[in-house]
Chains A and B, each alone.
Chain A
Amino acid sequence: MRHLRRGAAAALFLVAPAVAHADEAPAAPADSASGAQQLIRVGYEDQDLTRLSLEELSMVEVTSVSRRPEALADAAAAIYVISAEDIRRSGATSLPEVLRLAPNLNVQRVNAVDYAISARGFNGYETSNKLLVLIDGRSIYSTLSSGVFWDAHDVMLQDVERIEVISGPGGALYGSNAMNGVINIITRSAADTRGTLLSVGAGDDEANLALRHGGGLGETGAWRAWLTAHARGESRDPTGPEANDDARGLRGGVRADWSAGENRLTLQGDVFDNEVSVNEDLLGTDTHVRGANVLGRWSRPLADGELQVQAYYDRHEREEPGSLEQSDTWDLTVQHAMDYGRHRLVVGAGHRVIDSRFAAAPGGALLDPPDRTLTLTNVFVQDQIALGAGLTLTLGAKFEDNSFSGHEFLPNARVAWERPGGDLVWGAVSRASRTPNRIERDLTLPGFLVGADFRSETVTAYELGYRANPLPRMSFSINAFYNVYDDLRTVSITPVTFLPLNLSNNGEAETWGVEAWGSYDVSPTWRLSAGASTLTKDYDATLTPDDISGLTSIGDDPEYQILLRSQHDLTDAVELDVRLRAVDDLLAIDGYVEADVRLGWRLTDRLELSLTGQNLIEDRRIETGDPVRGRAFGRSVYGALQVSF
């Protein structure tokens, strides 16, 4: 059965080499709700604060009464937060590697630059298409495939304030691609990045440089400009001597933040040019990914609440052997949060226009029509109602209209009960969907595959969670979910003639699992953390005329993964971090256990050295079931020096 399923998938996708990056699901526009990060800010209960370092305390937002964010500790959702300190101490050198810190994400490294990342299943380079990923409010999932091309997205890690990882539907404020999760990456305000920072590092697999300089802008503003560069060597090929995936790239950006009276304004943008020699067609041609974006956000208090307006433009270009994909995206979101008696109400609307162009070499797969202008419009409302006795009811709904599948209605209801001891029980029922993408609608292989009327995939998600601080130095969170999916992507035949095939919505599945994480401070200088997640999938992979793929869109996921971490300050200046992760088998790939160790040495206040050993246990190991793109990884060492002044 497994062989058949894999075979069928390989057959379909091997015929479509030109669309290498597009195979799966793609995407539609996201929704706007990028402003949502404004509402779920990290908050801490008193007892949580005692776990924070001095540096972390200085980052805690203490918004004034008029702009109270929902405390993270009160959010009725499965949220894991990666702090700036966690990022620094991880020794990770790229955004996807940092995301390995979240127990509620499964990260599969595919090759030197590509990753498959998902929450609650469906992982795989081509099948992970149910996540909404935001960088400072800008959605980065691809219009072409609904997945995130991680080779095109990164940030200057030293300037990240925190990353919020929500597993499960993101709720009304986030919108339709937030079907299985949201990753919300938030960089620091320019006011917090004054001065110069230089970080250089090199190891046997990669070299990186990051440079930033920031300063003041008048009395109430600040700015920064930054530049990052990376070079990665070839990964190890699982079978032959050549992995052919060495890569290099440059990225630079600026950000400015002002406050003028009650108004706050942010302007930021970045531009990048990455290239990688992954040659899936064996022609040896480099893949080039280039892009630029600019974003503005303005907020001010309004009528017992806050009004926020955000707009961005994003340009993206991917040139591969045999294809050129370009997109221009314009996005506008307006959101008003206000308090009214015991109601905390958020209303908003967003509109996005994506101008997508795809040119393919003759004879291969193509998109028909090659160019499309897609729109995504939504209106959302959420009411958080304090019912008393620690009970909070949150009702939200989003109405969305997209070019491919028309209207969607996405409601959710959440209940949180904060008990007198400070622990919290929550439950939620949500409906979420993933709208069709260009590949699902337009991918054509003449005579073999034709575009059809692929509709949205949907899920009804049931969640239950509990979190507590049973001891002053201990906290944990445990969440369970049960998801019922319908209209999942399948591949159907044409009756009688068999060909051409078309992408259809005949898949159904149920998934369930548990995610848990916690930390314990053994002493003020030593913290232990652990996290685990499980996943069970129930689906029918029988090959039928309705689905000759055996439901490959279900992804290739481990049934469990376990993360352990120790963060230890050996002395005032020396810190030792050890991370272990155990990941269960994939369909055809063995599970693994890996270890990363980082030793950091603060020579002076301005100078820090670190030495990181990655993947220390195995010499050669594969993390992904992708038969074409997958490469192997193993032991590597990386040294870095960071100076700030």
Chain B
Amino acid sequence: MTLGRGSILVLVALLWSVPPHALASPPQRQSLEYSVKANYLVRFAAFVEWPQRSFATNQSPVVICVVGRDPFRGGLERAARAQTAYGRPLAVRHPGTAEAAAGCHILYVGQGGGRLVPDGARPILLVTDAAVSAERGVIHFVISDERVRFHIDLQTASRSGLSINSRLLNLALSVRGG
């Protein structure tokens, strides 16, 4: 026991005496915040109904777009891989113009992406983020009690021709209109 205690203490002392920069840089444990948001975007596809006309065929994918800066760093593509919604595959795109963004079903507005949001009441689930801007789309991400939660604007959703599953509404911190 004495030996054990001694050697552990020596080991601890040795490790502390090495200057931090002498070894690898500190672990950058990335916050889960954006991983959770990416997975929400993917899950939303199964809990929102788009009008039939917004898909070319029965096999057309649900298109998830990010406009502006992409904070997910590949996380959205990973989350969407091999997932389906109503039997449709999911596709992730980064449109560079508002016209290109008009083909999206779910549109996340990142930093500086506001100008790429198509005008008018289109069947697009517009997702905004309190971490980016206070402007609210149909779904607005916020951090509440250290969890990623969201507000839903049902009025805008129905004006866009979208219907939102009650399970999703149930999870919202608040539901506006409806």
Chain A residues with CB under 8 A of B83:
50, 524
Chain A residues with CB under 8 A of B40:
54, 57
Within 8 Å by CB of B148, from A58, A383, A393, A395, lies A58
Q: Is B43 within 8 A of A54, CB to CB?
A: yes
Chain A residues with CB under 8 A of B143:
62
Q: How far is the CA of A388 from the CA of B39 in the complex (A)?
A: 29
B138 to chain A minimum Cβ distance, whole angstroms, is 16
Centre residue among B42, B43, B46 by max chain A CB count within 10 A = B43
B147 to chain A minimum Cβ distance, whole angstroms, is 6
Q: How far is the CA of A383 from the CA of B9 in the complex (A)?
A: 12
Q: Is A189 within 8 A of B31, CB to CB?
A: no
Chain B residues with CB under 8 A of A189:
145
User: In chain B, what residue has the closest Cβ to A63?
Assistant: B146
CB of A262 closer than 8 Å to a CB of B: no
Q: How many residues of chain A are within 8 Å of chain B by beta carbon?
A: 49
Within 8 Å by CB of A339, from B26, B42, B46, B169, lies B26
Q: Is A46 within 8 A of B31, CB to CB?
A: no
CB of A59 closer than 8 Å to a CB of B: yes
Digit string of B133-169 for contact with A (CB within 8 Å is 1, else 0)? 0000000000111111100000000000000011111
Q: Is B35 within 8 A of A49, CB to CB?
A: yes
Centre residue among B36, B79, B143, B149 by max chain A CB count within 10 A = B36
Chain B residues with CB under 8 A of A53:
43
CB of A385 closer than 8 Å to a CB of B: yes
Complex A-B: 28 CB contacts under 8 Å: A44-B35, A50-B83, A54-B40, A54-B43, A57-B36, A57-B43, A58-B148, A62-B32, A62-B36, A62-B146, A62-B147, A63-B31, A64-B31, A71-B29, A191-B144, A341-B19, A343-B16, A343-B20, A385-B15, A386-B24, A387-B23, A388-B25, A389-B24, A395-B11, A395-B15, A411-B5, A472-B81, A524-B46
Within 8 Å by CB of B23, from A44, A61, A388, A572, lies A388
Considering the complex of A and B, which 4 residue pairs feature the smallest CB-CB distances, nearest first? A388-B24, A341-B20, A62-B33, A386-B27
Digit string of A512-524 for contact with B (CB within 8 Å is 1, else 0)? 0000000000001
CB of A632 closer than 8 Å to a CB of B: no
What is the interface residue range for chain B against chain A? 35 or more
Q: Is B145 within 8 A of A43, CB to CB?
A: no
Q: Is B15 within 8 A of A60, CB to CB?
A: no
Q: How far is the CA of A524 from the CA of B39 in the complex (A)?
A: 13
CB of A605 closer than 8 Å to a CB of B: yes
Digit string of A58-75 for contact with B (CB within 8 Å is 1, else 0)? 111111110010010000
Within 8 Å by CB of B170, from A68, A385, A572, A605, lies A605
CB of A397 closer than 8 Å to a CB of B: yes
Q: How far is the CA of A46 from the CA of B33 in the complex (A)?
A: 11
Knowing that A50-B42, A339-B26 touch, tell me 12 more A-B residue pairs with CB under 8 angstroms. Answer: A49-B32, A54-B167, A57-B36, A71-B29, A191-B145, A342-B27, A343-B16, A383-B16, A386-B26, A524-B46, A605-B166, A605-B167
Within 8 Å by CB of A395, from B5, B12, B27, lies B12
Q: Is A44 within 8 A of B32, CB to CB?
A: yes
Interface residues of A in 205-252 (CB under 8 A from B): none
Chain B residues with CB under 8 A of A343:
15-16, 20
B interface with A by C-beta (< 8 Å): 1, 4-5, 8, 11-12, 15-16, 19-21, 23-27, 29, 31-33, 35-36, 38-40, 42-43, 46-47, 75, 78-79, 81-84, 143-149, 165-171
How many A-B residue pairs lie within 8 Å, measured between CB atoms? 127
Digit string of A264-280 for contact with B (CB within 8 Å is 1, else 0)? 00000000000000000
Q: Is B79 within 8 A of A49, CB to CB?
A: yes
Q: Is A68 within 8 A of B148, CB to CB?
A: no
Chain B residues with CB under 8 A of A388:
23-25
CB of A448 closer than 8 Å to a CB of B: no
Q: Is A397 within 8 A of B169, CB to CB?
A: no
Chain B residues with CB under 8 A of A559:
none
Interface residues of A in 387-439 (CB under 8 A from B): 387-389, 392-393, 395, 397, 409, 411, 413, 431
Q: Is A383 within 8 A of B36, CB to CB?
A: no
Within 8 Å by CB of B82, from A43, A385, A472, lies A472
Centre residue among A54, A339, A472 by max chain B CB count within 10 A = A54
Q: How far is the CA of A58 from the CA of B152 in the complex (A)?
A: 14
B34 to chain A minimum Cβ distance, whole angstroms, is 9
Q: Is B79 within 8 A of A46, CB to CB?
A: yes
Digit string of A30-58 for contact with B (CB within 8 Å is 1, else 0)? 00000000000001101101101111011
Q: Is B169 within 8 A of A57, CB to CB?
A: no
CB of A192 closer than 8 Å to a CB of B: yes
Chain B residues with CB under 8 A of A413:
8
Q: Is B171 within 8 A of A58, CB to CB?
A: yes
Q: How far is the CA of A385 from the CA of B25 in the complex (A)?
A: 11
Q: Is A342 within 8 A of B24, CB to CB?
A: yes
User: In chain B, what residue has the closest Cβ to A472?
Assistant: B82
Q: Is A605 within 8 A of B36, CB to CB?
A: no
Q: How far is the CA of A385 from the CA of B27 in the complex (A)?
A: 9
Chain B residues with CB under 8 A of A192:
145, 147
Chain A residues with CB under 8 A of B27:
342, 386, 392
Q: How far is the CA of A413 from the CA of B47 in the complex (A)?
A: 46
CB of A473 closer than 8 Å to a CB of B: yes
Q: Is B12 within 8 A of A57, CB to CB?
A: no
Q: Is B20 within 8 A of A387, CB to CB?
A: no
A522 to chain B minimum Cβ distance, whole angstroms, is 12
Chain A residues with CB under 8 A of B167:
54-55, 572, 605
Chain B residues with CB under 8 A of A539:
none
Chain A residues with CB under 8 A of B8:
395, 397, 411, 413
Q: Is B20 within 8 A of A409, CB to CB?
A: no
Digit string of A68-104 for contact with B (CB within 8 Å is 1, else 0)? 1001000000000000000000000000000000000
Q: How far is the CA of A409 from the CA of B3 in the complex (A)?
A: 12
Within 8 Å by CB of A341, from B11, B26, B149, B165, lies B26
Chain B residues with CB under 8 A of A50:
39, 42, 78-79, 83
Q: Is B148 within 8 A of A62, CB to CB?
A: yes
User: In chain A, what residue has the closest Cβ to B19?
Assistant: A341
Q: How far is the CA of A409 from the CA of B4 in the complex (A)?
A: 10
Chain A residues with CB under 8 A of B46:
524
B45 to chain A minimum Cβ distance, whole angstroms, is 10
Taking A46-B79, A58-B171 as contacts, is the C-beta distance between A341 and B21 under 8 angstroms? yes
Chain B residues with CB under 8 A of A392:
27
Q: Is A387 within 8 A of B148, CB to CB?
A: no
Q: How far is the CA of A50 from the CA of B82 in the complex (A)?
A: 10
A472 to chain B minimum Cβ distance, whole angstroms, is 5
Q: How far is the CA of A341 from the CA of B23 in the complex (A)?
A: 10
Within 8 Å by CB of B15, from A54, A383, A431, A524, lies A383
